[in-house]
């Protein structure tokens, strides 16, 4: 594990009726800091709910590459391009 820990994917929704959208990613040494970093980095909206999960927790379904490593149509750079 590097000094910055691991990558966490960040999901959030503005209203209870909304679906979660993938808003970005943060690198953090642990989940507690991942929550803080996510909340303070992706503060562009008054989120109703936000959640984070380690990138490692996601399994690829139809592509050989690991998820979240193929770029993001929203134009956000992945937090970690290792």
Burial class, 9, CB count within 10 angstroms (exposed 0-12 / middle 13-18 / buried 19+): buried
Does position 68 interact with other proteins (CB under 8 A)? The reply is no
Does position 6 interact with other proteins (CB under 8 A)? The reply is no
Residues 29 to 48 in contact with other proteins, rule: CB under 8 A: 29-30, 32-33, 35-37, 39-41, 43
Binding site for other proteins (CB under 8 A): 3-5, 26-30, 32-33, 35-37, 39-41, 43, 79
């Amino acid at each position: 594990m590097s000094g910055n820990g691991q990558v966490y994917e960040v999901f959030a929704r503005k209203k209870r009726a909304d679906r979660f959208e993938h808003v970005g990613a943060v690198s953090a040494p642990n989940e507690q800091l991942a929550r803080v970093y996510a909340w303070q980095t992706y503060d562009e909206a008054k989120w109703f709910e936000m959640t984070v999960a380690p990138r490692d927790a996601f399994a690829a379904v139809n592509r050989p590459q690991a998820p979240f490593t193929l770029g993001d149509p929203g134009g956000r750079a992945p937090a970690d391009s290792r």
